[in-house]
Copies of this chain bind each other. A is one copy, B any other.
Amino acid sequence: MNDASKYEEPARLLKALAHPTRLCIVAGLLNDSCNVNKMKECLNLPQSTVSQQLAILRNQGIVDGVRHGTEVFYKVANEKVKDIVKVLLDDEEIVFK
């Protein structure tokens, strides 16, 4: 029993979340969407770093982005992830501002 393959996908999902920056990004997007520049300011990280972390989240379908002109607005795209992050962070309100 317990073939590990069954756990590979969910493990990949958790792994994508399991980084302070990425977790912070997802937490910040729980209630409001946000563009990369604002995130980079809030997170105090180079743009390339933020974009790379966003790419990891995008690859797992955790977030997706919509372009408006030069900006891309991201939001959380996975309900299960929303629930997990809320449980993990005790349902606190977090917003990029």
Contacts and interface: CB of A to CB of B under 8 A. Distances in A.
A7 B27 CA distance: 9
Interface string A2-45: 10111110111111011111111001100000000000001100
| Number of copies of chain A assembled together | 2
Contacts of A23: 7, 10-11, 14
Size band of the A side of the interface?
20 to 34
Contact of A84 (B15, B21, B43, B84): B84
A96 B2 CA distance: 7
Given A42-B2, A43-B2, A94-B2, A18 B28 contact: no
Interface of A: 1-2, 4-8, 10-15, 17-24, 27-28, 42-43, 80, 83-84, 87-89, 94, 96-97
